[in-house]
Amino acid sequence: MKLIVNGRNIELTDAIKAYVEEKMGRLEHHYDFIQEIHVFLSVEKNPRISANQKAEATVVVNRAVLRVEVSSEGLYGSIDQLVDKVERVLTRHKTKLLGRAKSAKGESIRKTGTEEELAAELTDEDLEGVFLTYEDEEEAEITTEGYKS
């Protein structure tokens, strides 16, 4: 992954560059398809703008260029918010690519199998919003009627 840090209306110190490299470096561990990240840090000189510390990132990945922009009152806060936002955008892009790959193979991205196999794979997080209907006191049937995911 190639990382380029530029500044507009601001002097980039070694500490700022190291902070950006440290924060953006953790993205490389999770997403191996990143080719380049261009980070632009700037300060707006207008006194009416309260969130005058701006951080922008342009992420070059396979088949796409993703752009993220964040403003806040502090430069380090802007960098932190920028990394979080870039991570969300990369997760969404990766999910989209995985969905396309499965649909190209003719596979469904939904889980398939018997009800017993699916029920064995369910966790507490998966059961959030699922309604239990009791026909007998001893048996419970799992349904998702009326639930929008």
**pLDDT value of position 130:** 46
Residue 98 lies in a domain: yes
Residue 126 lies in a domain: no
**pLDDT value of position 43:** 93
What CATH number corresponds to the domain at position 69?
3.30.160.100
Residue 114 lies in a domain: no
**pLDDT value of position 47:** 82
Q: Tell which wins on pLDDT, 85 or 124.
A: 85
Q: Using one digit for the tens of pLDDT, what is the confidence trace for 77-90?
A: 999 999 999 999 99
- pLDDT at residue 134 above 70? no
Domain that holds residue 90: 2-105
Residue 19 lies in a domain: yes
When divided into structural domains, the chain yields a total of 1
Residue 133 lies in a domain: no
- Per-residue three-class SS string for the chain: CEEEEEEECCCCCHHHHHHHHHHHHHHHHHCCCEEEEEEEEEECCCCCCCCCEEEEEEEEECCEEEEEEEEECCHHHHHHHHHHHHHHHHHHHHHHHHHHHHHHHCCCCCCCCCHHHHHHHCCCCCCCCCEEEECCCCCEEEECCCCCC
Residue 134 lies in a domain: no
Q: Using one digit for the tens of pLDDT, what is the confidence trace for 46-92?
A: 888 888 899 999 999 888 899 999 999 999 999 999 999 999 999 99
Residue 119 lies in a domain: no
**pLDDT value of position 80:** 95
Residue 115 lies in a domain: no
